[in-house]
Amino acid sequence: MSDIPGWGPHGPYGAPPGWSWNGYGWTPPPPPPKPGVIPLAPLGANHIIGGAFATMRRYAKPLFAAAAAAYGLLAVVAAASGVLAYVATREHFRAVAEPGAVSWDDSRPILIAFGLVWLGFMLATLVVNSFVQAACAATLHEAVLGRPAPFGAIWRRAWSRTPSVLAVTLLLSIVLMLPVAAFALLFLSLLFLMMTQSIIPIGLVLPLFLVTLPLAAWLYVLFAFAPAAAALETAGPFTALRRSVSLVRGAWWRTFGISLLAGLIVVGVSLAFRLPLQFAAPGPPQVDPDDPMSTYLLDQLRSQFGLYAALGLLGSFLTQLAATVFLPLVTALLYLDRRIRKENLAHTLREASAAPAPVP
């Protein structure tokens, strides 16, 4: 059995690697140093998930303050854009509101104005999400070394890396749109089947959907480390993509599994908050045939707003904020784990943790 590769002696006199003889017996190697939120050694799933939670707890100010400020700015810009679009098309709104006066000449400016607002909001959301990913990576850089992470330094570093992370995020968004587009075609094919009894469209679209879904998942995991590489290695978009492919190679299923576990944790926390609120939601008011429709609609609004709505909105914002921070941290820790395993990054991190922190 000792001739089988991997089953023979490990080290002198059959000792496992790192063990030493102290005169009385074999002494296990010392635990790896842990100056920050993770040990500087190959990480298990427990280290990765636990490290993400530890970073959120110890570095809550730079993480959540940066994310809340970015999303708050996004909300202000979106609201201001909506108001400007309404002001610019106010006369057309009034014309459309008149009974029997709906025309394409009045509807077209409204659709164009709010379509531009929606497009701008989606682009701004991508920018903000890229900034948050860069802020998470910049904070984790200090958290791994056990150093403080001032809000101002994290903010400046994250904005400097946002353009490169944004380019990578745009590509990942396109990858995610592949199964969404295939699902939309599948839905349209089902409608066509119900209306015409023809199975030709769904027969063509269903195989496309079944191929697109695993292809998109494979590509997304393959490029998952690109945002972290763009932020931590100051790499350009294409260099970051190549780095991600190189690091994920040989560990695709592990990366997919731990990322899926992190996603399930986020879903579980969200459901744990939402389900009690749904059970505690006020019931709809009873309909009185003698009341006018306006009174019924007003009662509906009152039943859905108030303290319950405020708690729901606040809880949704907090859970979403935590998710936007937690998932990038997990991905960045997976990226560090791959570099520790493939590039001996642990040695570099040990030297960096022992050196004095640079002056921001």
Using CA atoms, how far residue 168 sits from 107, 127, 134, 333, in Å, is: 37, 11, 11, 18
Q: What pLDDT is stored for residue 131 in this prediction?
A: 94
Q: Which residues contact 303 (CB under 8 A, 6 or more apart)?
A: 282, 283, 284, 285
CA distances from 98 to 21, 88, 94, 95, 219 (A): 92, 18, 7, 6, 51
Q: Is the pTM of this model over 0.95?
A: no
Q: Output the tens digit of pLDDT for each of the chain's 360 residues.
A: 333 333 333 344 444 445 555 555 566 667 788 888 999 889 999 999 999 999 999 999 889 998 888 988 988 988 898 888 888 887 776 776 666 555 666 678 888 888 888 898 889 999 999 999 999 999 999 999 989 989 989 999 999 999 999 999 888 888 878 777 777 777 777 766 666 766 666 666 677 777 788 888 888 899 999 999 999 988 888 899 999 999 999 999 999 999 999 999 988 888 887 777 666 655 555 555 555 544 555 555 555 555 566 666 676 777 778 888 999 999 999 999 999 999 888 888 888 777 665 555
Report the alpha-carbon distance of residue 296 to residue 298 in Å, rounded: 5
Q: Quick check: is 23 in a domain?
A: no
Residue 302 is part of which domain span?
A: 33-161+236-354
To which H or E segment does residue 16 belong? Answer: none
3-class SS of residue 138:
helix
Query: Does a structural domain hold residue 188?
Result: no
176 part of a folded domain:
no
Q: Does residue 166 form part of some domain?
A: no
Q: Which residues pair with 23 in a beta bridge?
A: none
Asked whether residue 106 is assigned to any structural domain, the reply reads yes
271 in a structural domain: yes
Residue 168 lies in a domain: no
Is residue 174 one of the residues assigned to a domain? no
Tally of domains in the chain: 1
For position 52, what pLDDT does the model report? 94
**Residue 20 backbone phi and psi in degrees, to 5:** -140, 155
